[in-house]
Amino acid sequence: MDIEASFDMFEDELDILEIIEFGFPKRIYIRNNPLEDLDELTFFKRFRLYKTTVIELMRVLQPDLEYPNELNNSVSPVNQFLTCLRVYATGGHLSSVADFTQMDTSTVSRIVQKVSMCLVRLAPRYIKMPVAHEFRRKQTKFYNIARLPRVLGVVDGTQIRIQSPGGEDAEIFRNRKSYFSINTQVICDADLKFINLVASWPGSSHDSTIFNNSNVCTRFERGEFANGILLGDSGYPLKNFLLTPLRNPNNREQNLYNEALIRTRVTIERAIGVWKRRFPILAYGSRLKVETTLYIITATAVLHNIAREMNEPEPPQGDEISINELDYLIDIGQLQDVNINNISNNTQQQFVNYFASLQ
């Protein structure tokens, strides 16, 4: 055996000893920093938020996203957040995001769950019903739409598509359009910000059932919102604090009431559309576990509200998203329930009389 061969064998033995003593060497990932590498428009298109918004959010999220002792050359907090945003932006295609970020799909999946959970913890700060000193301002903004007074919010349900969860209870997630989903209740204000969100009911649940069992319904019943009211479509029960359209208006004031209610209700449809276009995973559907999807729904609602506060426009769609297909998916997600409650009440009649007085 020559000297060079002996030296190579000696090096191999040293490598084996190092592995025995110190463990296998770390895999070194060299990842780019999109905050530095991409221009503002490209960044906005890919991650759905401006750089300044991401930087501000990282001040809050970073402590929860850091790994102790740089374990396994871990993904940096900012790259975890951007990976999660990329999943939200591409309709949940983990494999394409994994290729983009040079990670395997299991790592991407864990990051999405972790970041989404961190964002959910911010929900009480960003998704909340108005308090007493805010009532007048909220009501005035709604009044300016169609002269409908006392409105604090508009409620609706929207279906978020999921894969079949499997098991004995899978069919309760199948909605009336025959796909699996989470029926998510949202209430928005006149600025298209969500002030209430319930993301826990399977797709077969009726909007009225979700609302009647919600905490916000209980709070209205207790009188926490003074004379404030909500607006809903015909899928909701008529209550003294929840107005719905008249089924068969037969005079001018009733038509004026319906017209004002419908014009004001458009805000919730606009809010849901903006939310789903910003984060197409909500329209295309989540391929992740149901538990993770529930986190994603609330997390993206938090980000939607933050984007509204920062006056961010709707981001342009990337090449991987078909605008026509996305709009179609948003539209079919707006499922209407059949109203089984055909009675009127005094509050509704008072509003009809109000429009009669405007003539």
pLDDT score for 17: 35
pLDDT at 49 over 70: yes
φ, ψ of residue 242 to 5 degrees: the values are -135, 110
* Helix H or strand E segment including 45: helix 40-47
Give mean pLDDT, residues 265-273: 97
**Among 24-28, 235-239, 277-281, whose mean pLDDT is lowest?**
24-28
Residue of 349 and 140 predicted with greater confidence: 140
The more confident residue out of 307 and 109 is 307
| pLDDT score recorded for residue 357 | 77
Arithmetic mean of pLDDT, 148-166: 97
Mean model confidence pLDDT for the chain: 85
pLDDT for 90 equals 84
Convert the pLDDT of each residue in 185-201 to its tens digit: 999 999 999 999 999 99
Cα–Cα dist 89/53, whole Å: 16
- Give me Rg for the CA atoms of the chain: 25
Tell me what pLDDT residue 343 has: 37
Q: Report residue 95's pLDDT band, with 50, 70 and 90 as the boundaries.
A: low
Mean pLDDT of 33-52: 92
Cβ atoms of 184 and 299 within 8 Å: the answer is no
Residue 309 has pLDDT above 90, yes or no: yes
- Going through the chain in order, the beta strands assigned E by DSSP cover 151-161, 181-188, 194-202, 229-231, 242-243
What percent of the chain has a predicted confidence (pLDDT) above 70?
79
